[in-house]
Structure 1
Amino acid sequence: METDAETAAKRLLGCELVHEVEGHRLRVRIVETEAYDEADPASHTHRGRTARNDAMFLSAGHAYVYLIHGLHHCMNVVAGFEGHGCGVLIRAAEPLEGLAEMERRRGRGGAELTNGPGKLCQAMGITLPMREHDLGEPPLILIRRSPVDQDQIVVTRRVGIAKNADAPRRFYLRGDPWVPRPWTT
């Protein structure tokens, strides 16, 4: 998806991620995203290319996996043209396949299973070795689905950041039970 971050963030809603890991097929439907690019002070790419954020400067369709607070993995789908730091944080997803394995990995079930970027990566087994992975190739694949209706997409401020938090760059599916409740406004 070589496009701007906001367009990619909306377009990724309803798409699926599939991870074949340790003999398990884990599949989710993306229901919440956030857009980031190098013009955004909240983006890891705002100050230029580094060893940590290098994957965000790859061509569209790669994974940028990183750690927050030294503990939790998060994943962006790179969205821009090669050389332009642009990506979409996958914030929440609906489990579709491999539920028991995801629950085992997280140690819990229900809405808390995949309703946050760190929770999603833990449930899906997405870790740092997936950084720079081409999402068109196994074991982690992004499956494009038909775009969701624009009237089903809620646009709001981002959460969990300090810089540029009020920018309307967070997108989620209206009424979806897998979007975290405190963040639906």
Structure 2
Amino acid sequence: MIAAPDRTPLPRSFFDRPVLEAAPALLGRLLVRVFSPKGRVVLRLTEVEAYAGEADPGSHAYRGRTARNAVMYGPPGHAYVYFTYGMWHCLNVVCGPEGFASGILLRAGEIVEGAELVRPRRPTARRDHELAKGPARLATALDVDRTLDGTDLCGAEGAPLRLLTGTPAPASLLRAGPRTGVSGEGAVHPWRYWIDGEQSVSPYRAHTPRRRPGTARGANRKGS
């Protein structure tokens, strides 16, 4: 008989450690989004990316602290939400020692509860495993925007976003590779982690410069 996932909250100490330890350990954990009084959605994490603060050219904190990225500097266990390309939000988890600004981008997951609340938000998804397949889709599916920036993911029952213990992915299924869409030095780091064989994992895409109207081709850095 397969044991049910552990629904106890992840403690803050889980996030208060180096990002390259915390990121793969998040796979298989449960992200809960509460839509009071409509109910809640539970997502099992299947893909994440690590960003190592000011030491990482792919990170939003690479050039230091700003009003936009202030939440990244801690304390750990909080949500960092950013808006990108004028269209999409992405959800990250702050981790590591306070002041270091490392974070984990939540790239994809499987909706294990509340899919009926998600489908109207993701009408282009052909199958349920596509509902949160990619970081922008995950945030859209869970109705995450900048109003949730700074939310304590270790909060009490009923908080809008929480991370629960779930069932950690077995080591035999953990995979690592380059981060999606990261350019320059950061492109070589194998800091994207996923569970092998999961249909909800997004396809890898190398960095492609985006052309904006009236400008030269520019960088396409995304990540936390």
Q: Which amino acid aligns with 1:144?
A: T
1:1-185 to 2 correspondences below 5 Å: 1-22=15-36, 23-38=38-53, 39-109=55-125, 110=127, 111-137=129-155, 138-163=159-184, 164-180=186-202, 182-183=203-204
CA deviations over 1:114-133 (Å, ceiling 9, x no partner): 11000000001111111011
| Number of corresponding residues | 184
Deviating more after overlay: 74-83 vs 104-113: 104-113
Deviation at 1:82, TM superposition (A): 1.1
Deviating more after overlay: 105-114 vs 121-130: 105-114
TM-score by length of 1: 0.94
In 2 relative to 1, CA 171–142 (structure 1 residues): closer, same or farther, beyond 3 Å?
same
* Contact kept? 1:21, 1:125, Cα under 8 Å: no
Aligned equivalents of 2:69, 2:187: Cα separation in 1: 20
**Percentage of matched positions with identical amino acids:** 38
Q: Which amino acid aligns with 2:165?
A: R
Q: Which amino acid aligns with 1:130?
A: L
Deviation at 1:167, TM superposition (A): 0.8
Deviation at 1:183, TM superposition (A): 2.2
Gaps of 5+ in 1: none
Deviation at 1:166, TM superposition (A): 2.0
Deviation at 1:57, TM superposition (A): 0.6
* Contact kept? 1:19, 1:140, Cα under 8 Å: yes
Deviation at 1:136, TM superposition (A): 1.6
Q: Which segments of structure 1 move beyond 6 Å, counting only runs of 4 or more?
A: none
